[in-house]
A and B are shown apart, each in its own frame.
Chain A
Amino acid sequence: MLTNQGFKLLITLFILSIVSSTVSVNQPLTLSIFVVTFFALVYFYFAVEDIRRVRANDFGFSRKLSKTLPKAGEKFEVVVNVVNLAGRKLRVMVLDNVGSLNVVSGSSVAEGYLGHGEAIAVRYVLLAGERGLYRLGPVSVRVSDDYGLVCRYITLEEEYRLVVASAGSEKPRLSDAVKKVEPTLFTGSGSSYQQGVDDVFRELTLYEEGQPLKSIDWRRTARENGEIYVRKYDKLNLLKVLFLVDCSRANQLGKPSILDSSLSAVSAAALSMLEKGDVVSVATVGSSKPELHSAYGMKDYEGLVKFLSAVSPGKSYDLFEYVKELGAYHVVFMVGRFVGVDGPTLRKVFEHFRRGGGILFTLIPMTDEKNRIETALNELEKQRAESLKQYCSYVYAVKQNELLPHLIHLHKTMRMTA
């Protein structure tokens, strides 16, 4: 195809050809214009034919992100490298599509003459304002002729899907677990996992590559001649934890929204639980695509974060109908406003999980009070939580930024009693 400059030239020459052969005929000038126009047209043809021979596999391509799972509000660098493998010099412009992400610095476009084996890099820093699924790319290369008159666009990749996690998906701190919260039935003394009640010794085996060094039994190893032994433990008090997150539009209240705070807290709490060997499932009720996602170990955590990052509010729902399809769990955390859930429904949900041997905690997040409306709304939420307690004991109205400490604390107490 013609570039802007090529197109301008073609139009100019065409107009001049018409003028010089109709209203203003001067033989030398007309011939001159004809020669230039003829030359340009033939040049366009040969240049296009030349560029047409360039293929997508004539370029090597790599994309590197400084963070594979960036968090909302976090800057990350993107470096796209394109190498010319065509065996000849090419004039190229590399264009990367950043979609709805914001370019903080650098440019997503780079241009240059590349000899065989030479590379050009597009380097820029991006920022995603909110969690979610973003599209990056595809990277396209504009190959043009030496004079910039004709060009061809070659797409080098499919769209890259980038998951931006919630800003709060971080490892919970120790202080989160010791934060004082409202006492529950499960607070108080219990087994101390610091003494090793979490893990019970199972067997002693030979060391295999990749096993953690901390599992080596140094005493036994010292007794053996060159053999390294490791101790294996069973986790006896594994919990099956379910987070039932209300993702309906009513949770878009506040800044950050209650939904974002809930998802951040769930994400961080899930990390803590998975590290302790629990199985964590997250059900997103009221989302655009209600789904149940389970993580069985740390290896599944990234998938869980991606799942949570892509959640978007959807339609209303019938909680009990949804819960009926779910299996048995040891602990169920209902996180969200659950505005459509009344006392009897909550009771039914509670009974459902209780029959499976589980316990249900309901955490209703309240917004940070920034104005009188939010103060009034929080007051109403507190009263609602109190009224729901008549049907199910463990209902808490908590500040949205205190969700994580509550979840961690409740989980800790549950593990102690498990």
Chain B
Amino acid sequence: MIDKALRLTALFPPVLITAVALSRIDMSNPFVLVGMFSLIFISATDRFKWAGVVLVYVPAIYTVYLLLTGTVSPFLGLAAGYIISTPYVLAISAYRSPNVAGLITGYYTSYLFALLLYGAVAGGNIQPERLFLTLIRNLLGIASLERVNMTPATPEPSAIYNSLTAVATFSLLACFAALEAAKPRINTAFIKSLLAVVAVLPFIVFASDFSPAASSFLLLGSLVSLLAFLAVRMRWRM
């Protein structure tokens, strides 16, 4: 129960950002909703799986038929529905993941897609067709050398989202303690690590506020150094 609550808390920011983005999208094309809910049904529970498969295949075949007869809008709407459901699908898979690695991967990718979606909507792409094409362009942009950073800024008001992200981060840490157990086990190593994080956090926040451009590289550099140090030390001591 605690584990589920922690997971829900950790996944709340991407879910919220996606919900904000969805509230701005023009839902006049019903195929957007069909595409979105069919994917969510498939990934949600095993109970809805067969219904979800029907919901995927029937509209897909029908929209392809319409596309071939010259009506493009339903096809693009369905495709946009699939794409905008991605953060939720990833969040669901993270929630259902049996291990921490899956949870963190799901959390990150869900958050990332939510930001991409929000960025596209914030850029005025509220029509499903335009949204679909913009998201595809953004995703393809990862491979191009012209764009260095693919992620847009945090939605406004940023303070709320930043706070939610901070809470989600500590929920993720707490998920370690609830791993593979009915009730959380907090051991000495966990407390020591948590204290270390709390001790280091002010410096990180200060560094990222002081120089946002260099902070990411600073963080990466420090992680690599820490990893190398631990690898050498553990090898030496074991």
- Interface of A with B (CB < 8 Å)? 1, 5, 8-9, 11-14, 16-18, 20-50, 52, 145-149
Give the 9 A-B residue pairs with the shortest CB-CB distance, closest first: A46-B189, A21-B216, A43-B193, A21-B220, A28-B165, A32-B169, A42-B193, A26-B151, A9-B101
B192 / chain A contacts, CB cutoff of 8 Å? 42, 46
The stretch of B48-56, B64-72, B82-90, B171-179 in contact with A is B171-179
The stretch of B22-30, B33-41, B194-202 in contact with A is B194-202
> Out of B115, B142, B185, B227, which one reaches A23, CB within 8 Å?
B142
B219 an interface residue at 8 Å Cβ cutoff?
yes
A147 / chain B contacts, CB cutoff of 8 Å? 100, 176-177, 179-180, 185
* Contact in complex: B217, A21 (CB < 8 Å): yes
Report the minimal beta-carbon distance from B16 to chain A, rounded to whole angstroms.
13
A27-B154, A35-B197 known; A50+B148 contact, CB < 8 A: no
Report the minimal beta-carbon distance from A411 to chain B, rounded to whole angstroms.
61
Report the minimal beta-carbon distance from A41 to chain B, rounded to whole angstroms.
5
Interface of B is mostly: helix
Give the docked Cα–Cα distance between A13 and B101 (Å).
8
B233 / chain A contacts, CB cutoff of 8 Å? 45
Report the minimal beta-carbon distance from B24 to chain A, rounded to whole angstroms.
19
* Contact in complex: B189, A47 (CB < 8 Å): yes
A33 / chain B contacts, CB cutoff of 8 Å? 104, 108
Give the docked Cα–Cα distance between A218 and B99 (Å).
77
B150 an interface residue at 8 Å Cβ cutoff?
yes
* Contact in complex: B238, A52 (CB < 8 Å): yes
Report the minimal beta-carbon distance from B10 to chain A, rounded to whole angstroms.
10
Report the minimal beta-carbon distance from A147 to chain B, rounded to whole angstroms.
4
Q: Which residue of B has the minimal Cβ distance to A2?
A: B234
Report the minimal beta-carbon distance from B215 to chain A, rounded to whole angstroms.
7
A5-B101, A27-B212 known; A35+B227 contact, CB < 8 A: no
A16-B104, A25-B216 known; A146+B185 contact, CB < 8 A: yes
* Contact in complex: B204, A34 (CB < 8 Å): yes
Report the minimal beta-carbon distance from B145 to chain A, rounded to whole angstroms.
11
A17 / chain B contacts, CB cutoff of 8 Å? 219-220, 223
19 inter-chain pairs at a CB distance below 8 angstroms, sorted by A residue, are A17-B223, A18-B220, A25-B149, A25-B216, A26-B153, A27-B208, A28-B162, A29-B115, A30-B208, A32-B166, A32-B172, A35-B201, A38-B197, A42-B226, A45-B230, A45-B234, A46-B193, A147-B180, A149-B176
Report the minimal beta-carbon distance from B203 to chain A, rounded to whole angstroms.
11
B20 an interface residue at 8 Å Cβ cutoff?
no
* Contact in complex: B230, A44 (CB < 8 Å): yes
Q: Which residue of B has the minimal Cβ distance to A9?
A: B101
B106-141 interface bits toward A, Cβ cutoff 8 Å, 1 = contact, 0 = none: 001001100100000000000000000000000000
Report the minimal beta-carbon distance from B200 to chain A, rounded to whole angstroms.
6
* Contact in complex: B197, A48 (CB < 8 Å): no
> Out of A9, A29, A148, which one reaches B108, CB within 8 Å?
A29
A33-B108, A46-B188 known; A24+B165 contact, CB < 8 A: no
Most buried by A among B105, B172, B193, B205: B193
A25-B149, A27-B154, A48-B238 known; A43+B190 contact, CB < 8 A: yes
* Contact in complex: A30, B219 (CB < 8 Å): yes
A23-B142, A43-B176, A47-B189 known; A30+B216 contact, CB < 8 A: yes
A42 / chain B contacts, CB cutoff of 8 Å? 192-193, 196-197, 226
